[in-house]
Amino acid sequence: MAVGALGVLRELACSSGALLDPVVEGARESFRVRARLAVRGRASSPKIGIFQQDSHRIVDVPSCVIHHPRINETVRVLKDCIRDAGVAPYVDASHRGLLRYLQVVVERGSGAVQVVLVCNDAVAESVLPLADCLTDRLGPRLHSLWWNGNPERTNVIFGPHWQRLSGPEALRERIGGAAVFFPPGAFGQSNLDLADRIVAAVHGLVPDGAVVAEAYAGCGSFGLGLLARAREVRLNEDNPHGLRGLELGLAERPAHERAKARVLAGDASACAAMFDGADVALVDPPRRGLDAAVLETIMAARPRLLIYVSCGPSSLSRDCQRLLADGALRLRRLTPFALFPYTEHVETLALFEAA
């Protein structure tokens, strides 16, 4: 399991003198509460699933063992509605057909699903018969239903057009002691039960009364739960959907906690000065790793702790070379989490301390 990723982490631990913890594992079935699936085939025989590697050929997954059962149920219901409504799935070669992708996210507390229908159209009218069918057949199992318009020839899943057809504007999850809200366009972990353990581990590293600066904060899975005992929490995010989720989460916090939060909207590089005077720098960047300006500002700010949550061991290893170069920081611990069983992917919690 995760041989390649663990090999990189072993080399990093050996070269830096850091402790490499055993891989933290969770459930191996029914753990995935978030799925983005392609829709292809014909109206009479739709296929919903994932692409084969390096192709647009669909692997139909009506009963995937790693998906939450409610995702599989939603896929089966949608297939029936596609057939009954006569909706044409998307065809890549001709750029014709309506329904391109499906996103399904399960709200753990209620078991209801947030559904996004991604369509090859700039307006929502053509999908309304399908939406009505899906609403009727899912009933109370449907949290909310969204249309996304993506009429361009592109491999990007979501387009620029959004419309809420029914239900609340965001899922609500309890993470790290706080309510965290996820609009459909915001990033969210698919293995939330194990991601909860990453959040708990991060919280356990942050001392009471600290000034925390978090870049790439998303909807606030880490930062919102720290407001109760931090002196100040600075939260940076650039995605408008993530910022809306963050706004909803902050609105749920007591007034004295909201007063300790500073939201810095925009690219992390443009907000890098947020680390000045921070006791704890917390970063959870995309797979490419830290933006150069963020990395340099952290080194100049010299926080007592740097907590780096990485989804790319190679970019983590590269960033570590720069972070450790002047001896101001030391890498103390690496803890890998197997968020995607059966793959080589691990999420890594890296702890740095001031030398």
Catalogue the active-site residues. 311
Bridge partners, 212 (sequence order): 233, 280
Distance between CA 36 and CA 48 in Å, rounded? 10
Identify the burial level of 14 via C-beta atoms within 10 angstroms of its C-beta, where 0-12 means exposed, 13-18 middle and 19 or more buried: exposed
Distance between CA 167 and CA 146 in Å, rounded? 9
Side chain identity at 250, as an amino acid letter? L
What DSSP line would sit under 20-47, residue for residue? EPPPB---SSS-B-EEEEEEEEETTEEE
**Conformational region of residue 218, where left means phi above 0, alpha means psi within -120 to 50, and beta covers everything else:** left
- Say which residues have a Cβ less than 8 Å from residue 311's Cβ, sequence separation at least 6: 286, 287, 345, 347, 348
Distance between CA 335 and CA 310 in Å, rounded? 10
Helix residue ranges per DSSP H, 126-274: 128-138, 192-205, 240-252, 255-258
Distance between CA 120 and CA 153 in Å, rounded? 9
